[in-house]
Amino acid sequence: MKNLSASSGQFSRILFAVDGAPRSTGAVDAVAAIARAAKAEVHVLHVWNLEVRPNQGLWDVETLPEANQLVDGIAAQLVAAGVLATSEVATAPDKKIPDVIAETARQRSAGLVAVGSRGHSDFEGLFLGSVGHRVLQKVSCPVLIIRQGTDEHSGRQLKRVLLAVAGGDEVPQAIEAVTTIALAAEATAMVLHVRNLTAGEGVTWVESEEDAEAVLDDIVGRLRTAGVTAEAKVAGPSSFVAQDIAEAARAWDADLIVMGSRRLSELGGLVAGSVNHEVIHLTDRPVLVVERG
């Protein structure tokens, strides 16, 4: 690993929010990979309450000893993976879980919040109460969303980081995040831009390939200047940007997808069809959402 005391400080403290449902090991492995690369310490948080919840097809109530066992067990897994980890159990009703996660992140000066996702759509995320979706609205630091239910990529090193950009004001923050992770992990970055195709009222607009390549040349140049091995890819034109991003991540075998976010409200994210939330729904790769300036 390279000595990155300055750049890796962005992720020197990670808050890892976990729930009590049976999960794949992929979330722990993804957090461990970033924590090792950035030499970060991880604080494992579980928000516990006595409300009835589904558990393997049955309705169940989690006990406090089970909650403590959960966070202690995950912290032990991280320590075994070479990561400094602590654990905590907090209490709150279900509707307040995202608030507790956000407040704990602020109190601990977390540079990154990691949460699991069941892969709900925007509609389900709003009305079924996806914690990951709501946490995105409440914190100002990057959020790592790990799609639950697959172990296919567990245990892998962080060697390929895909940065999906639109060319807007998310670029500086996204470049900083990719630079931190890629340099610390000695990973390769691919910068992906999907050419947008918009049709409406008899008019079709297609982003030119020249404009897309200009965006990518600038970003790849900045990454290379920072010492990151980077390449570029133009996809599309497409009206299904999220699907193209997920497919590109599969084809390139990315270990992590990095995207920007406008920090839309929950209703705004639903109405506008948040691309990052769609990608989380479509991909089995961890997705790091970085706030736009």
pLDDT at residue 160, rounded to an integer? 95
What are the structural domains, with CATH classification, of the chain? 7-147 (3.40.50.620), 160-291 (3.40.50.620)
Distance CA 220, CA 120 (A): 32
Q: Tell me the pLDDT tens digit for each residue of 7-56.
A: 445 788 999 998 866 555 678 888 998 898 888 999 999 988 876 565 55
The pTM assigned to this predicted structure is 0.82
pLDDT at 286 over 80: yes
Amino acid in position 71 = V
Greatest C-alpha distance within the chain: 62
d(C-alpha 96, C-alpha 267), whole Å: 18
For the chain, helix (H) and strand (E) counts, in that order, are 10, 13
Q: What does the pLDDT look like over 72-89, one tens digit per residue?
A: 999 999 999 999 999 999
Contacts of residue 81, Cβ cutoff 8 Å, sequence gap at least 6: 28, 29, 32, 36
